[in-house]
Structure 1
Amino acid sequence: MSVKTKSPARVPLLEEERMHSARVFAGYQHATWEMHHIPWEEFRSDLVLPEHIVFVKGAIVGESNVIAATHGLLNEFDTDYDFSQFACIWGYQEIQHHLAFQTWLQLAGNSIEHSTIASMREAYPPGVTRAATLATNVICEVLATHAYKCVSRSMQEPVLAEILKKVSGDEARHAREFVHYTAQQLSEKPEECASVLETLYIYMGTSRDLYRHPVSRFKGNLPELENHESIDEMFAYFAEVDEGGTEWAKCCEQLFRYFSTLTGYQLTKMSEVRRAIAEESLRGMASV
């Protein structure tokens, strides 16, 4: 005799045009993962290399920045309920990344001092504009997406490889939503376009910024991180395993596509970003 199982109820989509975060929440519940989805029992200590430990410690320091970042976003967007709700959803997922990496590190027989993680707590000050803050997060998420994806392909230890693939997928989804909110901000405040272009140039405009993350700019010199792994070590390992710079090139191409869509300028190289900044500056002067 067969037993019929009850199908899960279909959740109605909340029809509230001012609450994009509600649709994000519904979508993330289908696409996201939980800690018990990681095959922890498949951990292979014999496949853990010293450089994996350094990479994961750097990832933990980077991901533990989420509390400060969420705090900063909630402060800066204190009048925007929809985005603030998204920031909470985003923050929850980033916390999971941090804890997944810490759990793996423990399995590998290592740990990080709590004081090191706690040093990342200080909130960020408001950005030059709201659009610039959002654009910075677009860059952060795209860089993380490609770093984790690239390292996952080279990773032999199966548990860490699985964590990296799942985290990379999360970061890609986060990037798309930060693009959405940046576009929304620019539609309301088009005069902030110059700050978005400047943000791209500041973080991606010179060769010294290859394989570097914005968090490094803000918190790379914390006294608590002296002689300790940071997000710089995480990205240094990304550079080591990125044969021929293929993944970094894809990362830059994606950023140019996103920022072209956001600003209305055709951007494929940094000289075009500089030109667009100059045009926005002239436009701003003409409107005064």
Structure 2
Amino acid sequence: MHGYDVFRHYERKRWTIEDLPFDEIDPDQVRPEYVTMVKSSVMGEANSIAAQHGFLNEFDDYDFSAFVAVWGYEELQHHFAFRTWLDAVGVSMPSGPVEAMRAPYGPGTTPCATLATNIISELTVNHVYRSVAAWVQEPVLRGLMLRASRDEAGHAREFVHYARQRLQRHPDELSSVLETLYVYTSEQRIKHPVGVFKSGLAEVENHETIDTAFDMFLAGIATEGELDRLQDNIRRAFSALTGLDVSTNSRVRRRLAEALA
């Protein structure tokens, strides 16, 4: 069972919140932008419980469900670790916006589309966390961002594994995978499932959201061409998943038209 192999691998690489020296944070190195970025990350990571609920409702595969349980633990760990950093610098996180994230996600157009959405989610956050780690000067936050980034890379790899298995059993779901790829990479901005499905909630009005972090990233952290590099990385993952050349938006559209024909 692949989920068992993932569990054993995660056991060997697991870190704990206690591994990070929060008591060594130098307040003089904490900038307001860091606080905004971390509060946005807390909000993004708060969705793991809603996502687990959705996964377990949509999929009846025990192996994948076992992976989801392990994945959910790591995502919740990110949420609590970012909150611990905020506590350490004297910033409180209101409970209302976090609790508003609890509602489960609805199923995707197909189960494979749901998996494809999560591949994009994990690759996006992996990239952004890694870049933010290179940008921040406060060492504890840098270390936390790097740990979270590495976790997200592993999550993306496993979602690709389960999506590939699903496509082999249900090749009719290919068009939904290509459609998902196009929806999230056809514009010159970062689109993330949390922002797409959890925007507009009254509880998060006038509060940081995951989109706040992405806007900050593109406005002042990302280097020239970095959004293109992120989207190219996502397309490469989908090329490996589908065995198709989806390296540009026009090629994605062409493969989608062929799949629908």
- Structure 1 length normalisation: TM-score? 0.88
- Shift in Å at residue 249 of structure 1? 3.0
Does 2:234 align with 1:255?
yes
Q: Which digits, 9 at most, give the CA deviation of each residue in 1:195-229, with x for residues without a partner?
A: 0000011111122xx13322101001111011110
- Residue number in structure 2 paired with 1:278: 257
Does 2:20 align with 1:24?
no
In 2: Cα distance, 1:147 partner to 1:190 partner: 32
Q: Which digits, 9 at most, give the CA deviation of each residue in 1:160-179, with x for residues without a partner?
A: 10100000000000000000
| Aligned-partner residue type, residue 265 of structure 1 | L
Equivalent position to 2:197, from 218, 230, 236: 218
Identity %: 46
Contact 1:59 1:234 in 2 (8 A): yes
In 2: Cα distance, 1:251 partner to 1:39 partner: 31
> How many residue pairs are counted as aligned between the two chains?
260
In 2: Cα distance, 1:30 partner to 1:216 partner: 32
Q: Which digits, 9 at most, give the CA deviation of each residue in 1:42-100, with x for residues without a partner?
A: 211111111111111111011001110011001101x2000000000000000000000
Structure 1 residues 32 and 245: CA distance shift in structure 2, 3 A: farther
Does 2:235 align with 1:243?
no
- Residue number in structure 2 paired with 1:98: 79
Contact 1:213 1:235 in 2 (8 A): no
Contact 1:149 1:165 in 2 (8 A): yes
Contact 1:193 1:280 in 2 (8 A): yes
Structure that is richer in helix per residue: 2
Listed as ranges, the gaps of 5+ residues in structure 1 are: 1-18, 283-288
In 2: Cα distance, 1:250 partner to 1:30 partner: 31
Runs of 4+ in 1 over 4 A off after TM superposition: none
In 2: Cα distance, 1:102 partner to 1:220 partner: 21
Contact 2:124 2:230 in 1 (8 A): yes
Listed as ranges, the gaps of 5+ residues in structure 2 are: none
Pair member with larger Rg? 1
SS in 2 for 1:228: coil
Contact 1:42 1:158 in 2 (8 A): no
| Aligned-partner residue type, residue 203 of structure 1 | Y
Equivalent position to 2:29, from 27, 38, 47: 47
In 2: Cα distance, 1:112 partner to 1:34 partner: 21
- Residue number in structure 1 paired with 2:244: 265
In 2: Cα distance, 1:128 partner to 1:88 partner: 23
SS in 1 for 2:224: helix
